[in-house]
Amino acid sequence: MYALQYVSAALYLAAGVGAVLGLSLPAPKVLSGARWGLAMGVAAQFCAFATLHRLTPAPSLTDLGYALSLMTWLAAGVTVFLVSRISLPGFVPPVAFVAFLATFGAMLHRPEAAVVDVGTTIPHAHVLLASAGLAALGLAGLADFFFLIEHRALKQRRKVPRKLPMPSLEALDRVNRVTLAVGFPLLSLGVITGGLWLHARMGSYFGGSLHETWMLIAWMIYLGLFALRFAGHQGARQAAASAVAGFTFLLAAVVGAGVVS
């Protein structure tokens, strides 16, 4: 399983380097190879996760390193799907590099022993749902980061032609809509299962810890963004700026608070 993790990390790294080369040369075949590399990395990591329980001691998905690794695996999987459907040049390198760092990081900080079993599947459901939500919202943030760059270039009527091809604004906006529509409900379910997990352990749905407080604030922010996007006729640029800001806050809530605590 650990070997598979290393293989997937290597594939992600190769895909990231290949995608950068493919975009900057430009070399479409290298870029296509990078997409396949990313897909193979996703497949290798799936096998790694599928055989996780065979390890002694079996690491837990509730470990922050593994949760991040799971999150980036889901994001990479969704990216593979998206790039096969929509023209999204420039999307593979950041996803591949982040996936590499998360996968490799999870290997560097392997827990000594498994987290004590609480006798329920809720913790894993919480990690899976929250990770899937974060992955989707992370992709929304990435798409909108590109959107803002592209929008700025068009508004400035940039004279110097860019070296790297970019996805169209419409494609990026569509990624934002889809990932927000999928990501927010998943995040909500992740928050709910988190409350249930806490209740099973401590008898309360909210413990007031740094992580829980920040997550709740982040969830409320996303509730507002979700409502504005789908009910309030928010423009694409405002939606993009909001998504980037929202994901930055969410990342701080999950990783920042996790690291501090």
State how far the alpha carbon of 206 is from the alpha carbons of 49, 191, 223, 234, in Å: 30, 10, 19, 32
Our finding on whether 177 is near other proteins (CB under 8 A) is no
Our finding on whether 19 is near other proteins (CB under 8 A) is no
Of the candidate residues 32, 62, 188, 234, the single one contacting other proteins (CB under 8 A): 234
Query: Residue 163 Cβ, how far from other proteins at the closest point, in Å?
Result: 8
From 56-64, 170-178, 186-194, 242-250, span contacting other proteins (CB under 8 A): 170-178
Our finding on whether 227 is near other proteins (CB under 8 A) is no
Minimum CB distance to other proteins smaller for 26 or for 57: 26
Of the candidate residues 63, 144, 150, 212, the single one contacting other proteins (CB under 8 A): 150
What mask of x and - would describe binding to other proteins in positions 60 to 89, judged by CB under 8 A?
A: --------------------------xx--
Query: Residue 80 Cβ, how far from other proteins at the closest point, in Å?
Result: 19
Minimum CB distance to other proteins smaller for 121 or for 168: 168
Of the candidate residues 2, 26, 51, 57, the single one contacting other proteins (CB under 8 A): 26
167 prior amide bond cis, ω within 30:
no
Torsion (CA) 16, 91, 227, 130 in degrees, nearest 10 = -20
Q: Give me Rg for the CA atoms of the chain.
A: 19
Nearest to 113 by CA among 63, 155, 44: 63
Query: Residue 54 Cβ, how far from other proteins at the closest point, in Å?
Result: 44
Alpha-carbon span 81 to 91, nearest angstrom? 12
Of the candidate residues 171, 187, 215, 254, the single one contacting other proteins (CB under 8 A): 171
Our finding on whether 170 is near other proteins (CB under 8 A) is yes
Encode 184-231 in three state secondary structure.
HHHHHHHHHHHHHHHHHHHCCCCCCCHHHHHHHHHHHHHHHHHHHHHH
Alpha-carbon span 29 to 6, nearest angstrom? 25
